[in-house]
Structure 1
Amino acid sequence: MRGFLSSAVGVAAAAALALPLALSVPAAAASGSGAAASGSAAASGLGAVPPAAPAGSTQSLPLAPLRASSDRSAVPPAAGLPEARGLAAREVERFSLVGVVWDDADAELNGRVQVRTRSVDTALWSDWQDVETHNGAHAPDPDTAERGTGPARGATAPLWVGESDAIEVRVEAERPTVRALPARLPSGLRIELIDPGVPPAGAADGKNGAGTGGLPGDDDKGPVLVPGMTMEMAEASSVNVPLAPLGATEIGALGKADSTADAVLTGEARPGAAAAPYIGPRPRIITRLGWGADEKLREKAFVYTSTVKAAFVHHTASGNNYACKDAPAVIRSMYRYHVVSSGWRDIGYNFLVDKCGTVYEGRAGGVARAVLGAHTMGFNTDSMGIAVIGTFTGTNPPAPAVKSVAALTAWKLGLFNRDPRSTTTLKSGGGNRYPKGSSVKLKVISGHRDGFATECPGKLLYGQLPTTRTASAKLQGR
């Protein structure tokens, strides 16, 4: 994210952490970017807040121009200072993840976004936290069907803040250079407050060994849709058969010898022909049912590309303040943020990995298949996106997570006969680094920044990619 110069809306640390004497409360949650949370917040002060909605919810609140007050000030852009917008401290319905969106998906937010939140558990306010401005780095390719099927919006990265019940927001455009016009913010700025809801019974909890159950069925009549299992859930699960039975909350790990059979599903290996020899052991993967995806949110159809030639490694830039048991809730929140708030067809990443090394299925369509994602603008076709949950610009990625990235790429790239140490050529679909239609030589395991001008996956995770390539190839038997 671009550097934040001295701010006209900055406040002293002590004042920033002090609880306002009276918190403002919206009359009702706005619904400008999708389903709004039900119920209403307390009238003022420290009143009770409704519990989390089982299916999750999104509160979408507009950001207004900041006015002078005892703890903040703003000068209109006409006076030569950057535009500033925000939201006064207020109680809201419970939420755990925040992000800022705006109307035009092609517009950039050049400036600084900060939030502070109040914890449900402690009733204390956090320090001001930066939200990464993102600017199209994780997104569908320009002119793709995905961008034309709904109200796609510009969006910051999401930030996981834990269960909270009050919020304050400030956004300041970048200060202008000498003789430049005052910096402006994109139109339609809104803060999205996302509650992940509670997972369905039997879903994984982010711990090793969790979520081993499946939904009942019998061999003669086929799978039975038990209460709570919708047709959308069955469709999302069926594309992973025969890797796991319909309704499974996880896909089990396999040894290298057994994993070669998975290549038949990709079309790279044909029945009766020798399977691709360099396929790493299949890692354990928590399915969408396992992390509690609300399958009614996403677009119904699955979209595929012809093959998988490369893997792009990302960080979610959502912060590191989560426990492994919370990872499914973090993913449910990101899913809702990508679909409801950003206007995408599904969660953008093909896979996610938490700090304990647990691998999760991302975008629906089948973990062994070439599913079109929305993770690296310009290079989503014929690639897959793996996001490590966290921020790794100044924090080292956990060793279990890095190890799982190597294991996942050894298996998935092996299904498509790709050597993790090699290079490949992808055609750019447009972005801020390579012109649309240009052929670009990239490493088979690349960082997001290799295809798009961004800090992702953070310099410390990016620095782990050389050893990840070597470890992935070794797992393939190369």
Structure 2
Amino acid sequence: MRANLVSSVAVTCTAALALPLSLATPAASLPPAGPVDLVSVGSVDTDVAGSTQSLPLGPIGTTDRAVGGTATQGLTRRDVRPFSLLGVVWDDARAHLHGTVQVRTRAAGGSEWSPWQDVEIHNEEHGADPGTPEAETAALRGSTAPLWVGESDGVEIRVRPQAEGDAAPLPAGLRLELVDPGPERAAPGPRSGAAAEATADSARGAAQAAPTVEEAAASSVNAHLGAPSGASVIPALSRAATVAEATEAVFGAAAAKPYIGPRPKIITRKGWGADEKMRAKSFVYTKAVKAAFVHHSATGNNYTCRQAPSVLRSIYRYHVKSSGWRDVGYNFAVDKCGNIYEGRAGGVAKPVLGAHTLGFNTNSMGIAVLGSYTSTAPPAAAVNAVAKLTAWKLGLHGANPKGKATLTSGGGNKYKKGKKVKFNTIAGHRDGFATECPGSRLYSKLGATRTASAKYQGRP
């Protein structure tokens, strides 16, 4: 539990930018020192797994007049409850935000404000395929990508419409979402001494607490992988053991041994602290996993690997509570240290339908590398983790990482609904949608990733 708060809980690189002079905040418009009455400025959604502050945006500025008929919207500098991730949402999920979003924040307990940062606005390329129940829910909202800023208690935001001549109105119902992921949890890993004893005590305490129906369901789908109910980690397997397991369970006892990589260690939803009551109760599956789409989360690189579970819980909460999705959109996440995390619930070995590559979620999986990799090179550990993960998961479904896969467009992307499109088996998000995701620096690594993944599978 944070010191002064109730216990809490798919693009381009974050960049620090100078704010145009027309957006400078007059000193007189700043709120007075001291806490703000949050009830009067927005709503706070709090539960055992975190909290979300939802603050409506309004016209701001005295010198920045309407551009193309739409004024700049935002919030002047203010105190807020502690949060670590932010994003902007609006009422109509089909509406596009034509403009720019810039924010700056103040670290919790500090007095210095960060430089202005861009929030990636093009998030419409993520989400459920058109016509699916998830895409038709009344709770669905338009949204920017989320941005991780670390624990903060002050915020200021500007949403500027396009310049005159290309102007389009800003979407209705703009709100700033401030997400607190709850207490920080380190990714499960080796411990020694007092740390090991504390971890053991925590594990014993968790084991004594009866799991909820939702927790039991999310855990049981991985039980056949050596992860008993409530396990924080699905253990790694040697390639020989993985091949033996897959031959019997997936391909049949009489089948030839498959090409499949060793199963990597995977941190479960329990391991990163997912609140299973938040998501939709049912699991939705496709027929197979023919391809893997690689993404970056566009949340920025300002996180430590110890904070990765908090980043993931924040993204999960933003996808579900703020954007209206049934669960986190990605099937897997990978942090900068190469830790692999279970994403959307339903079983890591199963073909779970995600909401990661609009129009091509069927028969594919989405892997998000936490961070922004347009101008920053992804760490070798993260790239290697993607290779290991795809070698195993694609191998379960008989797919060659160096091969091709044909998927049928569900629409909503650069391909018409029903069009059959051939992709590399390991593809970038930009291959299926007009987007910069997964960032140029990560995208350039995919060729080497395919080669490494095939090698892990034992292919010549």
Answer yes or no: same fold by TM over 0.5. Answer: yes
Counterpart residue number, 1:104 = 92
Q: CA deviation at 1:142?
A: 1.1
Distance 2:129 2:244 in 1: 32
Distance 1:5 1:29 in 2: 30
Q: Which stretch shows the higher mean deviation, 145-154 or 347-356?
A: 145-154
Distance 1:234 1:259 in 2: 25
Q: How is 1:64-463 mapped onto 2 (pairs within 5 angstroms)?
A: 64-68=58-62, 73-77=63-67, 80=68, 83-177=71-165, 182-198=167-183, 205-206=186-187, 208-209=189-190, 226-227=208-209, 229-243=211-225, 244-263=227-246, 268-270=250-252, 272-274=253-255, 276-463=257-444
* CA separation of 1:434 and 1:173: change in aligned 2, threshold 3 A: same
* CA separation of 1:274 and 1:99: change in aligned 2, threshold 3 A: same
Equivalences, count: 437
Distance 2:114 2:18 in 1: 22
Distance 1:9 1:82 in 2: 15
Which of 449, 452, 460 aligns to 1:471? It is 452
* CA separation of 1:169 and 1:228: change in aligned 2, threshold 3 A: farther
* CA separation of 1:225 and 1:400: change in aligned 2, threshold 3 A: closer
Q: What amino acid sits opposite 1:294 in the alignment?
A: D
Q: What amino acid sits opposite 2:54 in the alignment?
A: S
Counterpart residue number, 2:52 = 58
Distance 2:136 2:380 in 1: 39
Gaps of 5+ in 2: 1-10
Counterpart residue number, 1:219 = none
Q: CA deviation at 1:275?
A: 5.8
Distance 2:360 2:419 in 1: 11
* CA separation of 1:116 and 1:314: change in aligned 2, threshold 3 A: same
Distance 1:374 1:468 in 2: 23
What is the SS of the residue equivalent to 1:426? strand
Q: What amino acid sits opposite 1:158 in the alignment?
A: P
1:136-169 per-position Cα deviation (integer Å, ceiling 9, x unaligned):
1111111111122341111100000000111111
* CA separation of 1:474 and 1:118: change in aligned 2, threshold 3 A: same
1:234-291 per-position Cα deviation (integer Å, ceiling 9, x unaligned):
11000001111111100011111111244369x7412x23265200011110000000
What is the SS of the residue equivalent to 1:352? strand
Distance 1:116 1:410 in 2: 40
Does structure 2 retain, via aligned residues, the 8 Å contact 1:23–1:90?
no
1:39-64 per-position Cα deviation (integer Å, ceiling 9, x unaligned):
xxxxxxxxxxxxxx752001100000
Does structure 1 retain, via aligned residues, the 8 Å contact 2:289–2:363?
yes
Q: Give the TM-score normalised by structure 1.
A: 0.85
Does structure 1 retain, via aligned residues, the 8 Å contact 2:122–2:145?
yes
Distance 2:128 2:53 in 1: 24
Distance 2:452 2:40 in 1: 48
Fraction of identical pairs, as percent = 57
What is the SS of the residue equivalent to 1:337? helix
Which structure carries more relative contact order (alpha carbon 8 Å, separation 6+)? 2
Does structure 1 retain, via aligned residues, the 8 Å contact 2:188–2:267?
no
Distance 2:162 2:299 in 1: 22
Does structure 2 retain, via aligned residues, the 8 Å contact 1:264–1:275?
yes
* CA separation of 1:168 and 1:198: change in aligned 2, threshold 3 A: same
RMSD of the TM alignment (CA)? 2.8
Counterpart residue number, 1:28 = 39
Q: CA deviation at 1:83?
A: 3.2
Does structure 1 retain, via aligned residues, the 8 Å contact 2:283–2:346?
yes
Q: What amino acid sits opposite 1:89 in the alignment?
A: R
Does structure 2 retain, via aligned residues, the 8 Å contact 1:421–1:470?
yes
Q: CA deviation at 1:122?
A: 3.3
* CA separation of 1:420 and 1:115: change in aligned 2, threshold 3 A: same
Q: CA deviation at 1:215?
A: 6.9
What is the SS of the residue equivalent to 1:340? helix
* CA separation of 1:468 and 1:27: change in aligned 2, threshold 3 A: closer
Distance 1:120 1:6 in 2: 22
Q: CA deviation at 1:75?
A: 0.7
Distance 2:215 2:241 in 1: 27
* CA separation of 1:279 and 1:29: change in aligned 2, threshold 3 A: farther
Q: CA deviation at 1:420?
A: 0.4
Distance 2:408 2:401 in 1: 19
Q: What amino acid sits opposite 1:75 in the alignment?
A: R
* CA separation of 1:279 and 1:30: change in aligned 2, threshold 3 A: farther
Distance 2:97 2:86 in 1: 16
Q: CA deviation at 1:413?
A: 0.3
What is the SS of the residue equivalent to 2:223? coil
Distance 1:310 1:103 in 2: 33
Distance 1:395 1:379 in 2: 27
